[in-house]
Copies of this chain bind each other. A is one copy, B any other.
Amino acid sequence: MDKAGLIHEIFEKQSFLCVGLDTDLERIPRFLLDYDDPVYEFNKRIIDATQAHCVAYKPNIAFYESLGSKGWDSLRKTIDYIPANFFTIADAKRGDIGNTSRMYAKTFFETYAFDSITINPYMGADSVQPFLDFKGKWAIILAITSNLGSQDFQHIQENGEKLYQTVVRKSFDWGNDEHIMFVTGATHPKELAEIRALAPKSFFLVPGVGAQGGDLDAVVKSGRNKDIGLLVNSARSIIYASDKEDFAEAAQAEAARLHEQMRAYF
């Protein structure tokens, strides 16, 4: 999906919600374990229940990977099940030397047909470039992350510029807002505003609303642009809203609640 298509979906639906599919066998309702592929059954019902309220889905690859090859089969069925008008994000935080990043790009853009993948920028230009070489696909580069450990290295400062700012600035040497987004954690609205100043036209993937404590209103005030320019992710607070048979209804209710909050910004 290209940028214009994404903006169209956001305004059509008056939503910039991304539902995180952090599907954990140990947390899904017990009755699903009777199915052949409990992870896929769970995802299918979550997708059915939430699609009126969101514009994107973000499987967290770690959760699938931890199940071995079976988990990758569940991932494939999930990505095939997501309708074409949703933006899909492989939350994989990959990045390696050029020939290896090319393989990761192939994995998520070809073997699994994701629109985008999250990228860890530590290894620099040639670790990101192979992802940008895929036409029509997106690299979502970590700038400031939502976790506590984001303070350890991302704030290191040289000549008055912090690492997360350097990452954003340099990435414009590699590509543009038509195929690069940034991860900007909801828990850091001040940094989000700084990054918006550096990247006025870019989309940001904003994790951390919900279980991690980020506030939607603060995110929108710090980060929105005329296209909205935000994909706000919520995972656990939606998909684990209930651990009973009614989990899909509970997920829908939580997604609808966030959707309702989002409508106010259009």
Contacts and interface: CB of A to CB of B under 8 A. Distances in A.
Contact of A127 (B69, B96, B107, B149): B149
Given A62-B103, A62-B104, A163 B152 contact: no
A241 to B, nearest CB: 17
A65 interface: yes
Contacts of A107: 62, 65-66, 68
Nearest to A152: B124
A125 B149 contact: yes
A201 interface: no
Given A100-B22, A103-B66, A142 B122 contact: yes
> Copies per complex?
2
Interface in A139-188: 142, 145-154, 156-158, 163, 166-167, 170
A148 B124 contact: yes
Interface range for A = 35 or more
Contacts of A100: 22, 60, 62-63
15 contacts: A22-B99, A62-B100, A62-B104, A66-B106, A68-B76, A124-B147, A124-B148, A124-B150, A124-B152, A124-B154, A127-B147, A156-B156, A156-B158, A156-B163, A156-B166
Q: Kindly list the 4 A-B residue pairs having the minimum CB-CB distance in the complex, ordered from nearest.
A: A124-B149, A124-B152, A69-B69, A62-B103
Interface of A: 22, 24, 60, 62-63, 65-70, 72-73, 76, 91, 93-101, 103-104, 106-107, 111-112, 120-128, 142, 145-154, 156-158, 163, 166-167, 170, 212
